[in-house]
Structure 1
């Protein structure tokens, strides 16, 4: 069996049984079988719309007018949706979403909107459009980084510290790119928290096995929902700095923190608030996506990554990695709406905030 086939089995082993169980439960209930539930909601794919979540009206209104510009004159659409669509059409070649994106890393206007969102989120911490790369989905974005890190054989093969449980596609991606998965266990009795002692234990297991180069963190946790507090994030950052590991921060559910007393803190914000000893040293790549729960636009396939403290030559490679192709235009416009939503006073704000 090939490495890729083994990776596919990993994927099937995490997703397929859940789908089958959901389908079986639905079918048995329809046939009158007594169940301790009335309805089965299949969330095995992590697809909110498939599970019944309704699309965000403002997003769809803007995209509809972009796809069919005659809607710009349709008074039944909110004025701000039509104005946004007109602005976004203006950044498309030929004012058409059917045109190619001019660069391999994304439309510059959208990259700038992403940086402005990051700065608002992080209390003014600087963000540079040249550190942003947009692609057709978080999987592709992460894959570009993992391909770049792949190196060596045997004891020198690149290893990535990986949480258990982890996003269901991650083991497959590591396998596809020839990287070694180094598991660290999240602590269930502490709400699936990241434990510093466990990170050190996992790192010790790599001796004579692989060469650890990165640590993957999902915060808020996928699939656990755990939200790291500042102290936990600082511990991970210090660990990465001491051990020379690149931080790969999956922050795709940053807008979905509802627990009492919980707040979503980005790794970048905490990193820069720890001072120059860390903010100038630690290599960090963070990821966000249209698939996040607040948008749920999984099928549009749009995501971005922000890189911090990477070598300029590495950053150039990442920005050129999709060439001669380029990310599709429509998902980028949806990303722009995600990071730049209606604000108080806008006609669509009340509906959007609901």
Structure 2
């Protein structure tokens, strides 16, 4: 009996010991790819939505460190100003600014774009990073379901309003943050706003699929302009994105060591924004700084074209 107890204790001790020994390998696997480009961005202008925290903030820090003039386009100006000051201090780059942008309000999007076009003569990199996740059913100021309205339609409108400046500044790049969750998404044109049937997990997946399809159609329409558009999956990152779900919030904090840090999560966004080898690559989807598999739904050109047309109708714009 004593021998059995000793053996059991030895097993229990060996489990955390094994995890401790394997920890460096586990962390390396979780971290994923790293952007190895040393490209400098002096003289380049960058706009990053949702850059006051998490992945967006670390993307902004990296690009500011490369010398870019970086605009943090954020809803919460208190956090945005604090983030801008912190990035200025850590990078030594004083060309980092916070500007008001609420993607849940088309009036705010238009005001941001109007002010940007008045103040900035160039735009070389647009990173559509901001997003919401697992929201209870709710609507934006304009009556759009929140996931679709912020994650897709808000960035669709912002890109539309800034696209000519991007073309004028070519070569230029657009980076859209999607997610592995797009594999579970479906564009339900008969119930695009989730009014008939709503599930917040599926709503998030649908919006991330919309990001993929938007990128695909946008890349086709930008051929020959010198502007590229690519989508990225940042990985499962320890951030504030799960704040709308108390269960997911608790789980991410319990298992934070199995998640990417915001710095690690920002690597693919940075890669798509600066890597020299991607200068002419467009319409692709990346994860861990490498091409990744897109779901069959995300490769459907007819769905992409129809979603484009419906998005224009909902926003009241004409984008040829």
Query: Shorter-chain TM-score category?
Result: 0.3 to 0.5
TM-score (norm 1): 0.38
